[in-house]
Structure 1
Amino acid sequence: MSDSVHPAQKLEEQARRRQKSKNVRPLKALMPFIVQYPWRVLGAFISLVLAAASTLTLPVAVRYVIDNGFSGTDAAAVDIYFKAMMAVAVVIGIASASRFYFVSWLGERVTSDLRLAVYNHITKLSPSFFEVTKTGEVLSRLTADTTLIKTVIGSSASIALRNMFMFIGAAFMLSITSPSLSSLAVLILPMVIVPMILFGRMVRRLSRDSQDRIADTSAMASETIQSIQVVQAFTHEEEDRRKFSGIVESSFATARMRVLARSLLTALAFTLVFAGVVGILWLGAQKVVSGDMSSGMLGQFIIYAILCSTAIAALSEVWGDIQLAAGATERLVEILNVEPQIKAPQNPVNIPTRVEGHVDFKDVVFHYPTRPQIAALDGFSFSVSPGETVALVGPSGAGKSTVFQLLMRFYDPTDGFVGLDDVNLQQADPLDIRQQISIVPQETVIFADTVYQNILFGRPSASANEVYAAADKALADEFVRQLPEGYDTKLGERGVTLSGGQRQRIAIARAILRNAPLLLLDEATSALDAESEKVVQTALERLMEGRTTLVIAHRLATVLKADRIIVMDAGKVIATGTHAQLLEQEGLYRRLANLQFGESKGNLQVIQT
């Protein structure tokens, strides 16, 4: 099901709704990424300090303009003060622009580096990690969480630091300008700011609720439109209209509360701020009348008081973003701290550039991490000679795919020996092992790229002629050249523009191009119609030439030509032999053959020939 909201936006919105971190300590984990760019950090800091310091000098200039310029006693000084104010304004503008550039650059750069670090780490993790971690959660951390961090580094952190400097500087200048009035401001400011912060949190909560209700309407409308024929076929239109009407009214009610709360917040903000300013202004005016303070000093004090209050308000606004980013950083660090269970030993055994293809399993016992109580393989032993084709046959859950998983070293056995050319795979680098293997999986993986790039995936260093030759040998060249742009045709996500047989031939071409000595075929024709299966089977036979081949098959017709068939059940080898030999034995293979080919032995013999 889809809707009008972009998936990335949905992930980001979900990330924003997560629980915030109770402290900002997790943000320390970002320091190694930030300190790589010391000159940018220094430039941002200098710009920030310069902008804050320049802003804090403006009230002093205003004071002297009021006291000396407007009094008429020194009218010529007006030009000087206003020129000084203009110079300060220019400095503020340049410093603010520099600060924005440096912090935005840092935000983008650190986010890119962090995203790359997480992606690189994810690609090293073992399949056991993805058994217990949802793909959507990983994608959310990789995209939405890094976006939240970019917001903080590139914006919120800068705003927080600037307003912290402004608050400290303005508070200090308030105490110098008028200690008595600043004492009064200390009492009044919390009375103004605290209600605004509390009310602001309520408004933000209502805003999130309003967005949720809007998402509900979008989701239901999308679901109805996607399934409109089913809705109409079951005459469910009236019921759906009633439900949608209820969701729309709920959305409106939430939005009305949000608008009302926002209106009250606006009224409260104006009332409290102006009341506080007017109160201080009135008391200051009394001091001006009594001669205890000049008009300019009062103006200076008022401006510093406003700077203080706005700085605190701004800090309260960005604090939530900083907490979100701390939580996001914590989740990203969790991934970066995950150690892959399968990795190269410190001194890996060297594997030849091209192995002969001798495969050996000896008394292998294996339990998947998520199912430790069930043995996927239990005392499993078999051997394959170089160039031999061996089929693994058995019911679902027999352990056939597990053999492939261990051979590619996605997992290590709990006990026993798995070897390739007599090298214990646990003592070898997984990358060296996998370079010796080509695989054609049951569910063909086609990437949203061109046909050419999908085949080249098998060996990125291959030449164009080698790609075309592989496609031709896989019987894919003919249909590829009929596509709108031939080998440059974009296949769409998961290869939706191709038929099942065409996807399989692309996968076979990829395996041919890889030209590895060991070939793994996992139910490579199980999902195809008879005509497509025949074409793909021919392509597979070309691929198997001169290679050690292991075949997993439920459809026994695909393994009749195997040199040897190993029958598995409950993680054990229960029978071995050729198709003809196994038919002569009472057991699982014969029962499977009877189910697929017919009950009579005569039928079986006909199939065999």
Structure 2
Amino acid sequence: MSNGTTSTSKGSSSSSSSAQTPTATQREQQKGSLAALRRLAPFLAPYRRQFVLAGIALTVAAGATLAIPYAFKQMIDLGFGGQAGIHNVDHVNAVFLALFGVATVLALATAARFYTVSWLGERVTADIRAAVYRHVVRQSPAFFETTQTGEVLSRLTTDTTLIQAVVGTSISVALRNLLLFAGGLVMLFVTSPKLSSIIIGLLVLTVLPIVMFGRRVRKLSRDSQDRIADASAVAGEILNAMPTVQAFTHEHIETARFGATVENAFVTAMRRIRARALLTMLAIVLVFGTIVFVLWLGAHAVLEGAMSGGDLGQFILYASIVAGAIGALSEVMGEAQRAAGATERLLELLAVRSDIQAPSQPVALPPRAANGAALSLANVTFHYPSRLDSPALDHVDLDIRPGETVAVVGPSGAGKTTLFQLFLRFYDPQQGTIRLDGVDIRQLDLHTLRDAVGIVPQDTVIFSANAMENIRYGRADASDEEVIRAARLAAAHDFIERLPHGYQSFLGERGVRLSGGQRQRIAIARALLKNPPLLLLDEATSALDAESERLVQSALEAAMVGRTTVIIAHRLATVQRADRIIVMEDGRIVEMGTHQSLVALGGVYANLAALQFHSVHVTPVAAEALQ
């Protein structure tokens, strides 16, 4: 309807660099580095105590595991291989009793480790989700014009779930296996330095191809997450526009489009899975091939009497522990690589900085005047980012007195809704200043500014809540009586009372259970409940029938008392009683005055008034003003 919608959409393809995520080249340079996981440290730091407890439990469990091979060595050498081959029954019993004790300690420590690290995973993930969401809702509109909602949701769900798996499981498994690897390696050297030196040398040679191949897996993991985000973005866009999709019978087209993105995600995921499978196969063959070869040498050493059967048994068990630890670490590495990609994506989101920042030392507004706020624009020029050669506002000067009602009319693209976006500081002008009660709005805290402004948009937003809470969105601490009073002023009380559960009735997602006029009245009630000194009405009565418009118009006139009001409207009956009417065209103010003076002027407004009230021949300029 108004220019802001047009201009914004045209400006959506580009916004200032600070409101965008890193470029594809930058992301490619950052991809796949496990160092990204270190940047989770601020989220992990508050839970040092839990990490210490988990570390203690993990160390005890690893120690118990490393004690088992030694117990088997004692059983073989002393229990079965005693003097003259006589079996030592008492020693065997003692060894098995000790093994049961070790198993009990292992069970308790493992349970404690599992509980602690699972708690950490859930807690840290919840903190990350909250931090990302808190950051996203503070971004300027430019961010939401260039970032798909589905992509943000994918990062809040899929990516954080991967991080949860790493923090809640993989880190613990990695540390446990690192301890087992280190402890097992030490015990291998204690058991047989010669065989251990051979096995270590061979393992170093096997690790090199595994590391090289792992880099490809890392890149594919990030690509897979990107494709999943693409599918989520498409699904979110279509589900939010389902009535339009069905009205144009595009169900099969959108199904095919979503199917293509899902198939693309599947193909990318299969490339990652194949690479992971090959990496796992390579690791197992190389590692266990090395161990088998070394054990073959050990078997010959026993046959030659160079080592005892217990030593070989102990060496085999420690070698198995070391091999198992390496295998587990390779699995954890794959998960960590996926989580590193997810972490990069989340941290990219957290690194985005809005163009619109609150000042470090904000200025306070003067005490509220009894008749509303003063608003002034001085030489304001504004370009949307993708239309730098075409100003949406061009050297606009305007002074609105406290308590004054000013209507803004003009053709689409004239700059009307852009004014509202600048008043709320969704954007900053490239030139000029906007002052509220004499204070430059860039010197105000954003909450202070926006608390002083109430708006009724043309496209009303209804939340998935009941009628009471939807109106209370205007002021969270309002009582039920204040909500009902605002609903009465907005002519919404009667239809709300007729709902199945009155004010407790759920209004459906995006208010699908209400008519357009009913949604509009909910929005008006919300703005009236806020009771701001400056009220912005963007076609506030556009969706109402004649009877409802009469009721709401009467309510709005009462609500305008004691506050400054700026109205955007094409239906001139809405603005005839305004103190002043501003006529805009091509980002400039071309006419200004009362309804009577502008009609007498014979310009754009007069032609529009003639068309709406007298149905006479009008000029092309007036016809354009109707669009």
- Indicate the TM-score class for this superposition, using the shorter chain for normalisation: 0.7 to 0.9
| Percent identical residues | 54
Aligned to 2:327: 313
Establish whether residue 68 from structure 1 lines up as the match of residue 84 from structure 2: no
Q: Encode CA deviations 1:553-590: one digit per residue, 9 max, x unaligned.
A: 13333222222210001111000122232222232223
| Cα separation, 2, equivalents of 1:254 and 1:342 | 37
Secondary structure of 2:562's partner?
coil
Counterpart residue type for residue 412 of structure 1: D
Establish whether residue 554 from structure 1 lines up as the match of residue 564 from structure 2: no
Counterparts in 2 of 1:244 and 1:543: CA distance versus 1, 3 Å: closer
May I ask how many residue pairs the two structures share in their alignment? 586
Counterpart residue type for residue 67 of structure 1: D
How much does 1:146 deviate? 2.3
Aligned to 2:179: 165
Aligned to 2:154: 140
How much does 1:425 deviate? 1.6
Aligned to 2:607: 591
* 1:78 aligned residue (71, 92, 110): 92
How much does 1:349 deviate? 2.2
**Alignment of structure 1 residues 366-515 onto 2, 5 Å:** 366-515=382-531
Aligned to 2:118: 104
| Cα separation, 1, equivalents of 2:508 and 2:254 | 33
Aligned to 1:341: 355
Q: Encode CA deviations 1:262-299: one digit per residue, 9 max, x unaligned.
A: 99999999887776665444432222222111111111
Counterparts in 2 of 1:537 and 1:79: CA distance versus 1, 3 Å: same
Secondary structure of 1:470's partner?
helix
Q: Encode CA deviations 1:373-401: one digit per residue, 9 max, x unaligned.
A: 33221110122222221111111111111
**Alignment of structure 1 residues 570-585 onto 2, 5 Å:** 570-585=586-601
Counterparts in 2 of 1:583 and 1:216: CA distance versus 1, 3 Å: closer
Counterpart residue type for residue 314 of structure 1: A
| Cα separation, 2, equivalents of 1:445 and 1:393 | 23
Aligned to 1:290: 304
| Conservation of the 8 A alpha-carbon contact between 2:221 and 2:337 | no
| Conservation of the 8 A alpha-carbon contact between 2:366 and 2:437 | no
Aligned to 2:101: 87
Secondary structure of 1:36's partner?
helix
| Conservation of the 8 A alpha-carbon contact between 1:21 and 1:323 | no
| Cα separation, 1, equivalents of 2:34 and 2:284 | 32
Structure 1 unaligned regions, length at least 5: 1-17, 605-609
| Cα separation, 2, equivalents of 1:258 and 1:436 | 53
Higher relative contact order (CA 8 A, sep 6+): 2
* 1:32 aligned residue (17, 39, 42): 42
Counterparts in 2 of 1:515 and 1:99: CA distance versus 1, 3 Å: same
Q: Encode CA deviations 1:396-428: one digit per residue, 9 max, x unaligned.
A: 111111211222222232222312222222222
| Conservation of the 8 A alpha-carbon contact between 2:61 and 2:110 | yes
Counterpart residue type for residue 514 of structure 1: K
Secondary structure of 1:447's partner?
coil
Counterpart residue type for residue 480 of structure 1: I
Greater shift in the superposed pair: 230-239 or 566-575: 230-239
**Alignment of structure 1 residues 229-240 onto 2, 5 Å:** none
Counterparts in 2 of 1:381 and 1:336: CA distance versus 1, 3 Å: same
How much does 1:538 deviate? 4.0
Q: Encode CA deviations 1:418-464: one digit per residue, 9 max, x unaligned.
A: 12222222222221122221111111111111111111111111111
| Conservation of the 8 A alpha-carbon contact between 1:508 and 1:539 | no
| Cα separation, 2, equivalents of 1:338 and 1:238 | 36
How much does 1:209 deviate? 12
**Alignment of structure 1 residues 252-271 onto 2, 5 Å:** none
Counterparts in 2 of 1:331 and 1:265: CA distance versus 1, 3 Å: closer
Greater shift in the superposed pair: 286-295 or 336-345: 336-345
Greater shift in the superposed pair: 271-280 or 328-337: 271-280
| Conservation of the 8 A alpha-carbon contact between 2:280 and 2:330 | no
Counterparts in 2 of 1:46 and 1:366: CA distance versus 1, 3 Å: same
Secondary structure of 1:76's partner?
helix
Cα RMSD after superposing both structures: 4.7
Aligned to 1:181: 195
Counterpart residue type for residue 55 of structure 1: T
How much does 1:336 deviate? 3.0
| Conservation of the 8 A alpha-carbon contact between 1:52 and 1:165 | yes
| Conservation of the 8 A alpha-carbon contact between 2:283 and 2:327 | no
Aligned to 2:12: none
Secondary structure of 1:551's partner?
strand
| Cα separation, 2, equivalents of 1:127 and 1:256 | 37
Counterparts in 2 of 1:35 and 1:57: CA distance versus 1, 3 Å: same
Counterparts in 2 of 1:307 and 1:31: CA distance versus 1, 3 Å: same
* 2:165 aligned residue (147, 151, 154): 151
Greater shift in the superposed pair: 591-600 or 250-259: 250-259
Counterpart residue type for residue 378 of structure 1: D
Counterpart residue type for residue 120 of structure 2: L
Greater shift in the superposed pair: 269-278 or 32-41: 269-278
How much does 1:42 deviate? 0.8
Greater shift in the superposed pair: 431-440 or 126-135: 126-135
| Cα separation, 1, equivalents of 2:228 and 2:534 | 54
| Cα separation, 2, equivalents of 1:122 and 1:372 | 26
Secondary structure of 1:37's partner?
helix
Counterpart residue type for residue 592 of structure 1: L
| Conservation of the 8 A alpha-carbon contact between 2:462 and 2:519 | yes
Q: Encode CA deviations 1:332-369: one digit per residue, 9 max, x unaligned.
A: 33333333333332332221353432211122122233
**Alignment of structure 1 residues 314-329 onto 2, 5 Å:** 314-329=328-343
| Conservation of the 8 A alpha-carbon contact between 1:20 and 1:326 | no
How much does 1:185 deviate? 2.8
| Cα separation, 2, equivalents of 1:200 and 1:589 | 69
